Structure 1
Amino acid sequence: MPEIAAPPPGRCRARELGISLGRFKPGKWNAITDVAGVRVGHSTIIRGAGALKVGKGPVRTGVTAILPNTTNIFEERVVGGGFVLNGAGEVSGMTQLLEWGLVETPIFLTNTLSVGAVSDAAVKWMVERYPGIGGEHDVIIPLVGECDDSWLNDIAGRHVKDEHVYEALRTASDGPVAEGNVGGGTGMITCDFKAGIGTSSRKLPEALGGYTVGVLVMSNFGVMRQLRVGGLPVGEVLDARYQGVQRRSRNYGSIIAVIATDAPLITHQLNRLAKRAALGIGRVGSSAMHGSGEIILAFSTANQVPRETRKMVYRMKILLDQRLDPLYEATIEATEEAILNALCMARDLDGVNGTVSKALPLEDVRELVAAWQEESARQSAQPAPAMRRPAPPDAGSRVRAGAHAAKPTAVRGAEGMPRPSRPPGAAGTTRIERPDVRSDSQEAKREAEAPRREPEPAAAPAAVEAEPRPGEAGAPKPGTPRSDGGPTSG
């Protein structure tokens, strides 16, 4: 069994800072590799220093490879999906992924100007193993995601070569995953601090299916004031403390997130899961800026779709849509923690023209988190102020409150359409109520059958004395003002 690699000196993963990162527990490695069969490998290129000389360096880049299964992804494809929050970025092959809903190549992460080189090397690697590609079999379009590392790296020099792609594939393993300044994340920055590759996972309890969700990110977005750690506005405090820190000013950055799960999901469900990863990105502080690319891929290992078969159909296990909510929550939690792990595990790194990206100051973060937690505990210990007990509602308000508080399944059908209803006592076919829920119509029926008090008769209105007509005894003469102030008729 492989041992978890020791973190760099002075660095640790996010949950070791004592912050709250959701209610679900992580898997064994707290990594995307907790999903059985998924492997991750890196190739890191750090070379040269000083002034930028295009084609020579300094070089601060690399490649990360994610292999979705243990057999071979070309012949045993997995179901996939994705989501684009802001599209100022690229994942080659994503158009076909969204059309077919299948992942048939490894997934690669690198810098923006090396997408073509990585894709070309991936094609070579696959053709060597499956010579029928482009003849006996269909052509392939490798999935390659990118972020811009030009603030630290000689990106125009295009230093990622075939051997780096091959190294990432060769070293891919199913154990712990190196984070921070590694692979495609070598030159990446998040919220003005050094970041890069980060990963995390969540294991659902058996009552919720027992499924695992893993997320790996190449994180490169945001500005310092936006950073939030465990929901706390850490960035606002650090922004004031670190005014002198070098920062990129014209590079919005991006993030690529890859979700893996063993839950039996099909494409539309994976698309929806990918959208929830965007919520996790927002938790850390992203506002998906105009020039930023937030792109998420997702795949499920539960069903494998063979490239060749003599059958006309294949069978799949599919999770009910109503069971997705825990997976959504787990994805948000794992995405947030993966980004924070990228920040916490990264180290200071110098780059082109003497630029330096400083690592997130963990001691400052730990101090801020502890102070907020202490204040929260102090306020929680104080007795709650006395509150007046509200008056009991009348019968009508109870019926209305019951309708508003009814469970969704009590008033909506499986397709989300409102169930037909009619007021109590209305004529028509008797409505059959579900025995497992109390609906608003049942509440109304109970109110209708309750004994009613007869309303008390209203008091008769006071008699009004009529004025006599003209010519009758006591009638005023024409032109004489009336008692109500108006003239009489003439």
Structure 2
Amino acid sequence: MTPLSSASSRPRLADLGVPSGAFARGAENAITDVGGVRIGHATLHGDGLHTGVTAIVPDTLTGERRSLPANLSVGNGYGKLVGATQLRELAALETPILLTSTLSVFRVADALLGHLLATPAHARTTTLNPVVGETNDGFLSDIRRRAVGEEQVVQALEAAAAGPVVEGCVGAGAGTVALGYKGGIGTSSRLVDVAGQTRTVGALVQTNFSGTLRIAGVPLPAEELLSGAAAQPVGNSCMIVVATDAAMDGRQLGRVANRAVFAMRGVGADYAQGSGDYAIAFSVHDPALGGPVADDVLSPLFAATMDAVEEALINSVLAAETTVGPEGRTARAVPIDGVRARLTRAGAV
């Protein structure tokens, strides 16, 4: 089994010439544009496996600051999101957020907990709420082996970095399927004026859901672009993580998380019965600097969240490469030439 360590050479949405909308993209057009947020992956490819773990690490969680304001939106609760009830009840995030494969989620949560309890900051900790989400990569990976555990968790946490984020068939997105094509990890960001100050909203997604892909409102059915070879995911889920440096409390972040789930419809999600659609939103803002912002200035943040999530969802598909799983099961990459041709014909680029 070998880790996927290099970025995909496939284009992102911005490379195709699709405008960012009302808000500019951040410097990296990634969740890492939010200061102090780092992303790391550990990926297993080979020997019947396409799986892994992705870590979202806020550096503002320290020994002095034990939680960040956060909240959760459950679009459809068919999932195994560890830590969900306390996250919603207390509106507080206490650990990095890890994403992984459905049947590995419990091993990953235990490994995250063990890793944190071994740090000096948690030398006396007796309660801690690890947050670990998942989607089902069983179409392309031998999911029953539960191959992701402590080694991969530590690798992802130690690899977490600022700057560009590898997308597509990496980490928790190694074996996922979305909208008939190969899915994966995607990210994006937007810059927003909030009460006269520029704030950043960043999103990272793990896509594994059905529907008909749309980009800039243009339908791109897999059955047509792949000549009938569309792939269907096992399970039907999406994990969305939104980070911001805006001064927001947990209640407001719950409203942001709701908008993140709404954004799935923009790319053609069908919100199927068996779907586990979750969004977690958190803020890295230092409360000593003031806040939260007034509710009447939230609308631009809501709109920017939906734009960033929609683009992250699309980037997850654009970056992903054709992947063959056990028994020859195949999820094909969206054909970029076909996408360009349809977007051009529709006047979207």
| Correspondence for 2:23 | 24
- Specify the SS of the correspondent of 1:120: helix
Contact between 2:62 and 2:121, CA under 8 Å: does it hold in 1? no
More strand per residue: 2
CA separation of 1:21 and 1:315: change in aligned 2, threshold 3 A: closer
- Between Structure 1 and Structure 2, how many residues are aligned? 345
1:338-487 equivalent positions in 2, closer than 5 A:
338-373=312-347
> 99-108 or 19-28: which moved more?
19-28
Identity %: 38
* 2:101 is the counterpart of 1:106: no
> 93-102 or 71-80: which moved more?
71-80
| Correspondence for 2:190 | 202
| Correspondence for 1:474 | none
**Matching residue within 192, 208, 219 for 1:233:** 219
Shift of 1:62: 0.2
* 2:300 is the counterpart of 1:300: no
| Correspondence for 1:116 | 106
CA separation of 1:74 and 1:20: change in aligned 2, threshold 3 A: same
* 2:207 is the counterpart of 1:219: yes
| Correspondence for 2:306 | 332
**Matching residue within 137, 150, 166 for 1:149:** 137
Shift of 1:90: 2.4
Please give the alpha-carbon distance, in whole angstroms, between the structure 2 residues aligned to 1:74 and 1:191.
43
Contact between 1:246 and 1:356, CA under 8 Å: does it hold in 2? no
| Correspondence for 1:43 | 42
* 2:179 is the counterpart of 1:191: yes
| Correspondence for 2:149 | 161
Shift of 1:245: 1.1
Shift of 1:130: 3.8
Contact between 1:35 and 1:261, CA under 8 Å: does it hold in 2? yes
- Specify the SS of the correspondent of 1:42: strand
CA separation of 1:32 and 1:349: change in aligned 2, threshold 3 A: same
**Matching residue within 63, 69, 85 for 2:59:** 69
CA separation of 1:316 and 1:366: change in aligned 2, threshold 3 A: same
Please give the alpha-carbon distance, in whole angstroms, between the structure 2 residues aligned to 1:366 and 1:243.
17
CA separation of 1:208 and 1:368: change in aligned 2, threshold 3 A: farther
| Correspondence for 1:273 | 256
CA displacement 1:370-425 (0-9 Å, x = unmatched)? 01118x9xxxxxxxxxxxxxxxxxxxxxxxxxxxxxxxxxxxxxxxxxxxxxxxxx
| Correspondence for 1:178 | 166
CA separation of 1:82 and 1:105: change in aligned 2, threshold 3 A: same
Shift of 1:17: 1.3
Q: Which runs of 5+ in 1 are unaligned?
A: 49-57, 305-313, 377-490
| Correspondence for 1:322 | 296
Contact between 1:18 and 1:366, CA under 8 Å: does it hold in 2? no
Q: Which runs of 5+ in 2 are unaligned?
A: none
Shift of 1:8: 2.9
Residue type matched to 2:316 in 1? A
* 2:241 is the counterpart of 1:258: yes
Contact between 2:63 and 2:121, CA under 8 Å: does it hold in 1? no
Shift of 1:286: 1.1
* 2:34 is the counterpart of 1:60: no
Q: Which has the larger radius of gyration?
A: 1
CA displacement 1:98-137 (0-9 Å, x = unmatched)? 111111111000000001110111011011104756xx43
TM-score (norm 2): 0.93
Shift of 1:29: 0.6
Structure 1 runs of 4+ with >4 Å offset: none
| Correspondence for 1:85 | 75
Residue type matched to 2:184 in 1? G
Residue type matched to 1:281 in 2? M
| Correspondence for 2:8 | 8
Please give the alpha-carbon distance, in whole angstroms, between the structure 2 residues aligned to 1:86 and 1:165.
27
Shift of 1:349: 0.7
Contact between 1:217 and 1:257, CA under 8 Å: does it hold in 2? yes
Residue type matched to 1:355 in 2? R
Give me the CA root mean square deviation: 2.1
Please give the alpha-carbon distance, in whole angstroms, between the structure 2 residues aligned to 1:201 and 1:214.
4
Shift of 1:188: 0.7
Shift of 1:189: 0.9
> 282-291 or 105-114: which moved more?
282-291
> 206-215 or 273-282: which moved more?
206-215
Shift of 1:47: 1.7
TM-score (norm 1): 0.67
> 168-177 or 251-260: which moved more?
251-260
Shift of 1:70: 4.6
Contact between 1:18 and 1:369, CA under 8 Å: does it hold in 2? no
Contact between 1:86 and 1:295, CA under 8 Å: does it hold in 2? yes
Shift of 1:20: 3.4
Residue type matched to 1:279 in 2? F
**Matching residue within 273, 287, 309 for 1:290:** 273
Larger RCO: Structure 1 or Structure 2 (Cα < 8 Å, ≥ 6 residues apart)?
A: 2
Please give the alpha-carbon distance, in whole angstroms, between the structure 1 residues aligned to 2:341 and 2:94.
46
Residue type matched to 2:204 in 1? L
Shift of 1:208: 4.8
**Matching residue within 226, 239, 250 for 1:242:** 226
